Chain A
Amino acid sequence: MPSPRYTRDIPARYRLDAARCSACGHVALPRRTICSGCRSQDMEPVRLTRRGTVVTSTVIHVPPDEFTTEAPYAMAIIETPEGARLMAQVVDCQAEEVVPGMELSLEFRRIRREGHGGILCYGHKGVPVRRHEA
């Protein structure tokens, strides 16, 4: 990802800054100025809680080159308590353990490295809720 685009995504990627439609309640991540559900322009900022539930997931066995050492790994659509959905890796567990309904905490992790000398990209990944956090 080029560094200018990465920098512009920081509010959503680093802090899970989203927007909730005051008219229909739809929550958009990243923030939008117009609701994709009802076209209302009355969007208020909301910061998502760093928790979520797996809606659906898949296991990546043939990854892009830069993720070779991580395969196989799970990618999931995760829904937060606010109703926002994001796609993220689920880590710190076996990929096949990731199933719909699994409770996750969203932790700040390095997402990728831009080649050998490029920028480091950070964001959130799902981690199964630890026993002491349940």
Chain B
Amino acid sequence: MAGIIGYGAYIPRNRIRTDEIAQQWGREPASIRAGLLLEEKSVPGLDEDTITISVAAARDALARADVDPSRVGALYIGSESHPYAVKPSGTVVAEALGVGPEYHTADFEFACKAGTEAMFVALGLVESGRVEYALGIGADTSQGAPGDALEYSASAGGAAFLFGRENPVADVLDAVSYTSDTADFWRREGEYYPRHGGRFTGEPAYFKHVLGAARLILERTGIPPADFRHAVFHMPNGKFPLSVGAQLGFRRDQLETGWVVPTMGNTYSGSSPTGLAAILDEASPDDLILITSFGSGAGSDAFVLRATERLPEVRDRAPTVRAMLDGSRRYLSYGEYAKYREKIRMNS
């Protein structure tokens, strides 16, 4: 059976508090925090992007797996903030990791679910026997227009998962995808910021697809929600994943470990994958885990995993998500944030 044999995550050290953004735009901080359940979010450094985040996360995945990078036969990165419009992020990341040159790579884009797309394809190639090991990475330095609701959540970070057949830290019991053409959120070619359909991003988009994928995989595996130790759903804000979890019949304690959004923000393609990494940081052998992503446009991927005896053995080979969220941080003013996110027009 194929499974995850190594995992890693990376969250930049810069943060901005919800209150700082709200005050900039004359909004009431307490109501924003209560409405979105967001306290702060990560911000990429001036020298951090999807490529650097992917390298950091994937290095930790390889360290935990203790696999020679030259044996990795495929590497996929899902992001909606690839630094180049034409030139793959994957080639830079592979060179930095020591992967290749005999490997297959591609950059994926599907709004916030591009990371699980990369994982889905990496898993499939390992299951088919086409490659021995495959990396699936989700990372983003996501964009939110100034003053838009997205500005409170759009953050930076990512997670990487190395799939293989031997010595898994988590077996993958099943994986499904649930997709329809839904124009809830988009960014046209050449546009700097995404646009969205406001409340239309809720029921007809996020909830329809997350519920669709989660119900499909629960039915296929025959595992009831109560049997899972952990579940993580895409986290565009704090409320949606808790709400969709409750609708599916999950208790709050099953959602707690992967619910990293209140202090991380929405890392888009890295969102539910980083939640999964946080779960693997704490899960016990035989724990059942459900991850369901969501990407606008729209679709969801869902995976059911079971942690193995090896998971606790490899965990300490790299920093945990919680250590990165709660460790050394640097808080930015809105002015510094605007500079870091290149929202200020400069003479060039």
Known: A10-B95, A14-B96. A130 touches B45 (CB 8 A): no
B319 touches A133 (CB 8 A): yes
Using a CB–CB cutoff of 8 Å, the interface residues on chain A facing chain B are 10, 14-15, 47, 68-70, 89, 91-92, 107-111, 116, 120, 122, 125, 130-133
A91 to B330, CA, bound (A): 12
Q: Which of B48-56, B156-164, B175-183, B269-277 contacts A (4 or more CB under 8 A)?
A: B48-56
- Residues of B within 8 Å of A70, CB to CB, are 46-47
- Residues of A within 8 Å of B83, CB to CB, are 110, 120
- Residues of A within 8 Å of B84, CB to CB, are 120
B51 touches A69 (CB 8 A): no
Closest beta carbon of chain A to B104's beta carbon, Å: 19
B residues 299-330 touching A (CB-CB < 8 Å): 319-320, 323-324, 327-328, 330
Closest beta carbon of chain B to A5's beta carbon, Å: 16
- Residues of A within 8 Å of B348, CB to CB, are 116
Residue in B47, B59, B319 whose beta carbon sits within 8 Å of that of A130 in the complex:
B319
A109 touches B95 (CB 8 A): no
B98 touches A130 (CB 8 A): no
A82 to B263, CA, bound (A): 38
Closest beta carbon of chain A to B334's beta carbon, Å: 16
- Residues of A within 8 Å of B95, CB to CB, are 10, 14-15
A130 touches B52 (CB 8 A): no
Residue in B48, B323, B324 whose beta carbon sits within 8 Å of that of A110 in the complex:
B48
Closest beta carbon of chain A to B254's beta carbon, Å: 26
A22 to B118, CA, bound (A): 43
B56 touches A108 (CB 8 A): yes
- Residues of B within 8 Å of A107, CB to CB, are 52, 56
B339 on interface, CB distance cutoff 8 Å: yes
Known: A131-B328, A132-B319. A15 touches B96 (CB 8 A): yes
Residue in B49, B98, B327, B339 whose beta carbon sits within 8 Å of that of A132 in the complex:
B327
Task: Please give me the 4 A-B residue pairs with the lowest Cβ-Cβ distance, nearest first.
Answer: A132-B323, A109-B47, A108-B55, A14-B96
Residue in B96, B98, B330, B339 whose beta carbon sits within 8 Å of that of A122 in the complex:
B96
A–B Cβ pairs within 8 angstroms, 30 of them: A14-B92, A14-B95, A14-B96, A15-B95, A15-B96, A69-B46, A69-B339, A91-B45, A92-B13, A92-B330, A107-B56, A108-B55, A108-B59, A108-B96, A109-B45, A110-B49, A110-B51, A120-B51, A122-B51, A122-B52, A122-B92, A122-B96, A125-B47, A130-B327, A130-B328, A132-B320, A132-B323, A132-B324, A132-B327, A133-B319
Name the residue of chain A whose CB is nearest to the CB of B89. Answer: A120
- Residues of A within 8 Å of B45, CB to CB, are 91-92, 109
A70 to B45, CA, bound (A): 10
Name the residue of chain A whose CB is nearest to the CB of B319. Answer: A132
